[in-house]
Each structure stands twice: as C-alpha cells, then as structure tokens.
Structure 1
Amino acid sequence: MKGRAVALGAGTVLNALATGVGSAFAIDAETTATVELDDSGEVRGDVDGAPDADTRLIERCVELTVERYGSGETGGRVRTESEVPMAAGLKSSSAAANATVLATLSALGVDVGDADSGGRVTRLDACRLGVEAARDAGVTVTGAFDDASASMLGGVTLTDNTRDDLLARDERDWDVLVWTPPERAYSADADVSRCERVAPMARLVADLASEGRYAAGMTVNGLAFSAALGFPTDPAVEAMPHADGVSLSGTGPSVVAVGHRDELETVAAMWGERDGTTRLTTTRTDGARVL
C-alpha cells in the first residue's frame, strides 16, 4: 500500500493573522511525499536532508487520513522531499501536509478529484484534512487554509480561515521573485496581538483581493505585516518601482515580488547583494496531484 503525491509552495497576498481572512498564490516549487502503509501500529516520518526536522505534521496527516478513509491500517512510513525551504514563509508546512494527505489517499486506493470529476474525495476535502492535522500538530495559528488552498488548487485563493471557507479562486500568470534571508521564522511563534493591530490594513487588502487586485493588495500587506512582525521594509521599497506587487510572505522572513521577468531581474540584482538566496520562478495554476 504505497502512494506518492506532490504539492506546491506559495507566496502571500494577505496574512490571515489579523482578521482570519487570508490570500495566497501557488508558485513553482514542489514538495513530494511518499507514504507506505502497514500494520505496525505507528506512523514514522522523515524529511529528506533534515534528520532533525519535526515530523509531527506529516505523521498526523497520515493518521487522520487513515482514520477517515482507511479500513484497518494502523501504521506506516511517510517521507517528504522538498524544494520549499522550511520556516521561510513559503508554505512548506501546507505543501507537506497536502502532499502527504494525497499520497496517503493514493496508498488507500481512494480516488481524488475536483467537485465535477466524480472522485470519492475532492482536493478541497483533502486540503481541509491537512489543515486539521496542522492544527493538531500546533504548527499554525490560523489553520492556514489560505496557504493550503493555494498549494492544493493552484492559482490565487482568498479564504476565511476561521471557517475554512474558499471565498474565491483566480489565476494569474506572474513571474515571481523570492528572496529568502538566512534566518528562519516559525508561524506558530508569530506575535498574533501585534498582527491584530494592523487589522484595518488587512481589511483593505481583503477588499482589494475581492476585487481581483491581488498585486496591489500584497504590497499593502507587506508593509503592514513587516512593521507588525519586525522585518525590514527595505527589500519591498527596492522592488516597488519594478514589481506589480511585493510582500513579506507569511510570517517571514522571505519576501516575494510578482510582475514581469525583465523587471524582476532588476530587483534580483539588488536583492542578490543581501545575505541569503534569490530565486526567480513563476506562478502555478495546476495545484497538487497524485503521482
């Protein structure tokens, strides 16, 4: 009983910590999960290249999926391999959870599709299961349904994380520049009270996103949440003349800019003088899938 699946990393349009409403967009960075089920009575997880990584999330994803859709399996192994750096604000946890749930469903022989495809489980069902596992594992404050939905469905999503409701999904053909400094920031450690103070700006971003003005909204979000979470705004200011939108991604520390490749290459030259790594990639609209 073996399954494999892949899910996508994502960047932030609107951080949900202030109001519970969030928005994110999928990027071309993949996480792959391989699941083998057995009757050992224990789920064991590991992360490729990170022997000391916290594996509670991916293990809980397997446990919940087997509880919900299995037929007596009691244990197994799950291994993830990822192009998405951990604790960098690029939705590594959401990608790992989505890929693990889909791989487990594949191992169980459960068909996964979308609402009109006739599958026993929709991708949104699987996404919500991963969000439930993330809450159980304590790796998220809001449940991160915005991040998880973008990773699972592709494109840009707008969500109410307090109810795990998908409010809108759109597609944008953006080039994307990502700068990731050396430090790491864990979502569960974010200062929620500081974020709640920028709720008026978050509501403005939600209004812009609901009008389809995602790029403009993400710039407002980036300035507000960089201030709230104590990250410098200099990278965003450098990018503004050249990008359609730029934001702190998640709770940081990565910064993402979207727009046209030739303009983003100019930003890449500036960001490349900073410590850390820069990556020029694109949006993705296909989302997660079973391999």
Structure 2
Amino acid sequence: MDGRAVAPAAGTVLNALATGTGSAFAIDLETTATVELTSDGDIDAEIAGRPDADTTLIERCVALTIEEHAADAGLDASTVGAHVRTESDVPMASGLKSSSAAANATVLATLDAFEISDAVERIDACRLGVRAARDAGVTVTGAFDDASASMLGGVTVTDNETDELLDRGEVEWHALVYTPPEQSFSADADVEACTRLAPMADLVAELALDGRYGEAMTVNGFAFCGALGFPTGPMLDALPDVAGVSLSGTGPSYVAVGERTTLEQVRKQWETRDGTTRLLETRTDGTQTT
C-alpha cells in the first residue's frame, strides 16, 4: 500500500512569535512525500539529495498518523511500519515553511496509503503535522498558521496556541521570493525580542482579519526585521509599488506580492544582492494527493 501527496510552501503575513496569532499564504514551491507501508512496525525516512538530513519530523508525522488512523483503515497500528521519501524544491531553513510543507505532505501521503485521505478533514490532518513538529522541536509556535496555509491553500489567520483557524481567504497574486545565502532556523529565533512586538502584531492581525493582507505583511516585515536583526533594504527595494512585502517567517527570505510586471522590476533590484530570487504565484488548492 503506497501513498503520495504534494504540499506547497508558504509566505508570511503575520509572524506568530509575538502573540501566538499568525497568518500565512500558500505559494507554488512544492514538497512531495511518498509513503510505502510495511508490516514490520518500523518507520524510516529519507530526504532526496540530503542523505545526512534530520528526518525526525517526517518519521514523527508517520508515527502519529498510524497511531491515529491505522484502525480506520482496518489495520493494527502496532504492526504498521513505513518507508517515507520526501523531495522538495522548498529551500530548508529559509523562512518558506519547508517543515510545514514536509509535514503536510507526509501526513496526507500516509492517509493516502491507508486509502482514507478523503475521509479525514484537511484541517485535522494539518493538526497532526503540527503536533509532530512540536514533538520534533522544529518550531517554537507549532506553526499552525504556516501549516494551515500549506494544507488548505490561500491565506489563513490562526491562533497557534489553540490551533484554531480564525479565517481563510483567497488571493491571486504573483509572489517574488528573495533568499539570501544564509540559513535561519525558526527554533533558534529570539522569542523574547519578538514578544515585545505584541502591540504591533495585534495591529497586523486586525489588518489580516479585515482582508488587508498586503498592508499587514508590510507592517509585519518592518517590525520583525527589527526584532530579528534582518536588514530592511530588500523591503525598501520593493516599496511602494508592490501590494505587500515582508520578511518571511524568521528569515532570511523576503517575499513581495502583487502584479507580475511590478515584481519583475523588483526582481532586478533583488538580483543585485547575494542569493537567489524566484518569481512564483500564490496557491489556493493546498496539499493534494497525487
């Protein structure tokens, strides 16, 4: 019994580190997970092209999904094992939600292998991946905002302390991503510095819940660049013509959204900086079995 699923990456509207409320939107960079069920009870995983990468998150996603849903497929959870392989064009530790995409793809691929993916609500599958991320220690907040955007598509606003979906909307933007050469792991972020931004984060949440996503992410970007020590230069390169621009997650990537022709001009500015740029589109379809 095999399963396969594809999950998109995401960009940030509101970083949840300040208050626990977060917001993110799906973009068309993808992670694919393939799950092959076994009957020996063992779980092992590999990440394509990264033989030494830590696979704890992926293995935990499978373990929780087996624990929660093997019986729904008529199987004995104690005997079910799996081999998992993920492939991704989402750069790791870049602020583009690579962990959330990997978790979502893995959970849904496991459900697909059980042949019950249509019977489990997508938001519940998302919560399994969030639990796994917390267990694996790859996130401070649980990243329910990032995970829900990746799982459901569109823009989501969430309470990461209760794993509640507060709102979901859809946008049809192009998205320009600039990723500097360095990496930044969200679990290493200065949480204390971010909590000082609570009043600003509350404002950003109000804007996001009002559907003013572009304004929200720009305010978020300037605030969190300050708290996390990232330069605001890439944001200033994009203003005032883009719909919104922000540091994504805890960095180091920046994401600008708006019309393609506008972003093509911003890209010329960003390409003078060290790193890579990608011109993408937002996604509304979320994580899918294939």
Please report the TM-score for the alignment, with normalisation by the length of structure 2. 0.97
Counterparts of 1:51 and 1:229 in 2: how far apart (Å)?
31
Counterparts of 1:137 and 1:278 in 2: how far apart (Å)?
30
1:247 counterpart residue number: 246
Note the alpha carbon deviations across 1:189-242, whole angstroms, 9 max, x for none: 111001001111111100100110010000000000011001000000111122
Farther off after superposition, 39-48 or 205-214:
39-48
1:116 counterpart residue number: none
Gaps of 5+ in 1: 113-119
Q: Identity of paired residues, percent?
A: 68
1:158 counterpart residue number: 157
Note the alpha carbon deviations across 1:119-152, whole angstroms, 9 max, x for none: x211001000000000010000111000000000
1:68 maps onto 2:75 in alignment: no
1:43 maps onto 2:32 in alignment: no
* Partner-residue secondary structure (3-state), 1:13: strand
* Partner-residue secondary structure (3-state), 1:172: coil
* Partner-residue secondary structure (3-state), 1:219: helix
Note the alpha carbon deviations across 1:74-103, whole angstroms, 9 max, x for none: 321111001111100000000000000000
Aligned match for 1:91, one of 81, 93, 97: 97
Note the alpha carbon deviations across 1:255-282, whole angstroms, 9 max, x for none: 0000111111111000001110000001
**Aligned-pair CA distance for 1:109:** 1.6
2:196 counterpart residue number: 197
Matched length: 284
1:104 maps onto 2:110 in alignment: yes
Counterparts of 1:87 and 1:42 in 2: how far apart (Å)?
28
2:175 counterpart residue number: 176
1:214 maps onto 2:221 in alignment: no
* Partner-residue secondary structure (3-state), 1:148: helix
Counterparts of 2:184 and 2:176 in 1: how far apart (Å)?
19
* Partner-residue secondary structure (3-state), 2:24: strand
Please report the TM-score for the alignment, with normalisation by the length of structure 1. 0.96
**Aligned-pair CA distance for 1:41:** 2.6
One-letter code of the match for 2:147?
A
